[in-house]
Structure 1
Amino acid sequence: MKKFIDENFLLQNKTAQALYHEFAKDMPVIDYHCHLPPDQIAEDRNFENLTQVWLYGDHYKWRAMRANGIAEEYITGDKSDWEKFEKWAETVPYTLRNPLYHWTHLELQRYFDVYDILSPATAKKIYDECTAKLQTPEYSVKNLLRKMRVSVVATTDDPVDDLAYHKQLKADGFEIKILPAFRPDKAMNADDLPALISYIGQLEQVCGITITDFNAYLGALKSRHDYFAAHGCTISDHGLEQMYAEAYTDEEIRLIFDLIIAGKTLSEQQVLQFKSAMLYHFAVWDKEKNWVQQYHLGALRNNNSRLLGALGPDTGWDSIGDFQQGPALSKFLNRLDSGDQLAKTILYNLNPADNELMATMIGNFNDGSVAGKIQFGSAWWFLDQKDGMIRQINALSNMGLLSRFIGMLTDSRSFLSYPRHEYFRRLLCNLLGEDVENGELPEDMDWLGKVVKDICYFNAKNYFNF
Structure 2
Amino acid sequence: MSTSASVNTTFINDDFLLENKFSQRLYHEFAAPMPIIDYHCHLPPNEIASNRSFENLTKIWINGDHYKWRAMRTFGIDEKYITGNAPDKEKFIQWAKTVPYTLRNPLYHWTHLELQRYFDINTLLNPNTANAIYDEATVKLQTKAFTCQNLINKMNVEVICTTEDPIDSLDHHVQIANSNFDVKVSTAFRPDKAILITTGTYLEYLDKLSGVSGVSIDSFKSLCDALSLRLDYFDQYGCKLSDHGLSYVPYREFTETEIESIFQKRRNKKELSLEDDEKFQTAILLFLCKQYHQRNWIQQFHLGALRNNNARMNRILGPDTGWDSIGDYAQAATLSKFLNRLDASDHLAKTILYNLNPADNEVLATMIGNFNDGKVKGKMQFGSGWWFLDQKDGMTKQINALSNMGLISCFIGMLTDSRSFLSYPRHEYFRRVLCNLFGQEMQNGELPKDFDLVGGIVQDICYNNAKEYFNF
- Shorter-normalised TM range: over 0.9
Query: Identity over the aligned pairs, expressed in percent?
Result: 61
| Contact 1:92 1:118 (8 Å CA) reproduced | yes
Structure 2 counterpart of 1:464, one-letter code: F
Contact 2:9 2:124 in 1 (8 A): no
Query: Hey, what does 1:386 align to over in structure 2?
Result: 392
Cα deviation, residue 352, structure 1: 0.4
Q: Is the 8 A contact 2:96 2:126 kept in 1?
A: yes
Cα deviations by residue, 1:26-78 (Å, 9 ceiling, x for unpaired) = 11000000000000000000000000000011000000000000000000000
The answer to whether 1:280 aligns with 2:275 is no
1:24 aligns with 2:36: no
RMSD over aligned Cα atoms: 1.0
CA distance in 2: counterparts of 1:285 and 1:37, whole angstroms? 26
How far apart, in 2, do the equivalents of 1:439 and 1:268 lie? 53
Paired residues for 1:133-282 under 5 Å: 133-192=140-199, 194-282=200-288
Counterpart pick for 1:376 among 343, 361, 382: 382
| 301-310 vs 166-175, greater mean Cα deviation | 166-175
State the match for 2:136 in structure 1: 129
Aligned-pair CA distance for 1:17: 0.3
Q: CA deviation at 1:405?
A: 0.3
Inter-partner Cα distance in structure 1 for 2:330 and 2:9: 44
- Does the CA-based 8 Å contact 1:244-1:279 persist in structure 2? no
The 2-side partners of 1:271 and 1:360 are apart by 28
Task: Say yes or no: does 1:397 pair with 2:417.
Answer: no
Q: Distance in 2 between matches of 1:461 and 1:245?
A: 32
3-state SS, counterpart of residue 146 of structure 1: helix
Task: Specify which of 319, 335, 339 is matched with residue 333 of structure 1.
Answer: 339
8 Å contact kept, 2:106–2:392:
yes
Structure 1 unaligned regions, length at least 5: none
Counterpart Cα distance in 2 of 1:37 and 1:207: 23
Retained in 2: the 8 A contact 1:362–1:376? Answer: yes
Q: Answer yes or no: is the 8 Å Cα contact 1:359–1:376 preserved in 2.
A: yes
Aligned partner of residue 395 in structure 1, secondary structure: helix
Supply the distance in 2 between the matched residues of 1:2 and 1:62 (Cα, whole angstroms): 23
Tell me if 1:86 matches 2:93: yes
Post-superposition offset of 1:2: 10
Could you tell me which residue of structure 1 aligns to residue 45 of structure 2?
A: 38
Choose 72-81 or 1-10, whichever is displaced more: 1-10
Q: Alpha-carbon deviation of 1:212? A: 1.5
| Alignment partner, residue 419 of structure 1 | 425
Normalized against structure 2, the TM-score is what? 0.98
Letter in 2 for 1:119: N
- Quote how far apart the aligned CAs of 1:265 are: 1.4
| Rounded Cα–Cα distance in structure 1 between residues aligned with 2:393 and 2:223 | 44
Q: Secondary structure at the match of 1:204?
A: helix
**2:414 pairs with 1:408:** yes
Q: Shift in Å at residue 209 of structure 1?
A: 3.0
3-state SS of 1:436 partner: helix
Mapped partners of 2:252, 2:97: distance in 1: 49
Is the 8 Å Cα contact of residues 53 and 414 (structure 1) preserved in structure 2?
yes
Per-residue CA deviations over 1:283-309 (Å, capped at 9, x if unaligned) read 101100111100000000010101111
Is the 2:159–2:185 Cα contact (8 Å) retained in structure 1?
Answer: yes
Question: Aligned equivalents of 1:390 and 1:217: distance in 2?
Answer: 42
SS in 2 for 1:334: helix
Alignment TM-score, normalising by the size of structure 1: 0.99
Rounded to whole Å, the distance in 2 between the matches of 1:394 and 1:444 is 20
Q: Give, as a single letter, the amino acid of the residue that structure 2 aligns with 1:332.
A: F
8 A contact 2:384–2:415 mirrored in 1: yes
Unpaired runs of at least 5, structure 2: 1-7
Offset at 1:447? 1.1
Residues 214 and 226 in structure 2, CA contact (< 8 A), matched pair in contact too: no
Of 411, 430, 437, which aligns to 1:431?
A: 437
Asked if the contact 2:38–2:415 (Cα under 8 Å) also holds between the matched residues in 1, the reply is yes
